Amino acid sequence: MERRSFYHPTREIPANAANFRNLENSAIIALYQENFNNAVNFFQQAYRSLLDIQIQERRGIHKGSILYNLGIAVLGRNQENAQIQSLDNILLAYIEDTINTEYDFEDDADRAPAGRFLIDGFVIQLRLLREIKRISRDLKNNADNWLHAYDPQVILNEALQFVGVDTNNLIELCQRRDINLGPVPLGFPQPVDRRVFIGLNYDTFTHLIPEIRLAVIQRNYVPILVRDVIIPPTVNVHDVSLLLLHTCRYAVFDITDLAGQLMELERARDYNIKVLIIRSDPVGHPPHISGMINSLGYPIQTYQDMADLRQLIINFLP
């Protein structure tokens, strides 16, 4: 049987959402620093910012990443009822992921961070996830409903009604109810296939980081930067960089101003990582491209402004 074809409305965060990006960056930094109270506060503000953007744009915005990270931050804060609040946010993130897939590809949400955490962390009853995916799929039968799918809570309420569980008793659907954040597996909670290593000169090109991070997040991937990790003074930075690189399936390197990227580039091939190499054009001096980069055979793509840069990354990530 031929698969039905549907118009997939864009649910990307607008490029001009500067306030949201600032809040998200602050939240992620606080989360990496294990300052969970601040992380929860910033993620909540970022989520409210997305709700406002939906009204301004008159379309739904994908909020899965923010809701998932909010759930993790709540869990890390370890206050009373943390597991229940975390479960609620991660379920809403999962619903956002189902809405964000193509029609009839809702099962793909099971592979996203929220789905994996629900299945392997909370060990949630799969019948609830199955019902969420059915409701999401049915919603997409109507293009207008899909475009204006603003609130994941609506789908969650309908799914809970179907399985006969009250919103206050969500935790009853889980076999594991005492999750603490604690140490995380190598690679963090996200699967390798959703992680994108970002390599550039952190001393001279930090202004690119928010733009690259935004493009990666818009494609529903997780940006990985060495500078976001707390590195003890006794630990070699290059060792940490290669360790992080090894946990990623994709990598984006800006070589406009070369620094430590060459070592990581060489290892990326050894690790079977898919690589995008970019540089600005024009530059104030002839671009220096080392023989090592040429020998690796990676094509080098150029950008003239931030919009070009973001589009290169969006096109690169499947």
First to last CA, the chain: 25
Q: Angle between the 82-100 and 126-139 helix axes, to the nearest 10 degrees?
A: 40
- For the chain, the structural domain boundaries read 18-173, 192-316
CB 267, CB 242: distance < 8 Å: yes
pLDDT in tens, 101-155: 999 999 999 988 899 889 888 899 999 999 999 999 999 999 999 999 999 999 9
CATH topology of domain 192-316: Rossmann fold (3.40.50)
- The pLDDT assigned to 185 comes to 42
Give the max Cα distance, the chain: 67
Cα–Cα distance for residue pair 139/54, rounded to 1 Å = 18
Instruction: Flag the least confident range among 28-32, 39-43, 212-216.
Output: 28-32
CA-wise closest residue to 70 among 30, 33, 115, 97:
30
Is pLDDT above 70 for 2? no
Is pLDDT above 60 for 284? no
pLDDT in tens, 52-87: 999 999 999 999 999 999 999 999 888 888 899 999
How many Cβ atoms sit within 10 Å of the Cβ of residue 199? 27
Is pLDDT above 80 for 255? yes
pLDDT band at 230 (very low <50, low <70, confident <90, very high): low
Is pLDDT above 60 for 174? yes
**Across the beta sheet with 274-280, what order do the strands follow?**
222-224, 195-199, 250-254, 274-280, 300-303
- The pLDDT assigned to 283 comes to 61
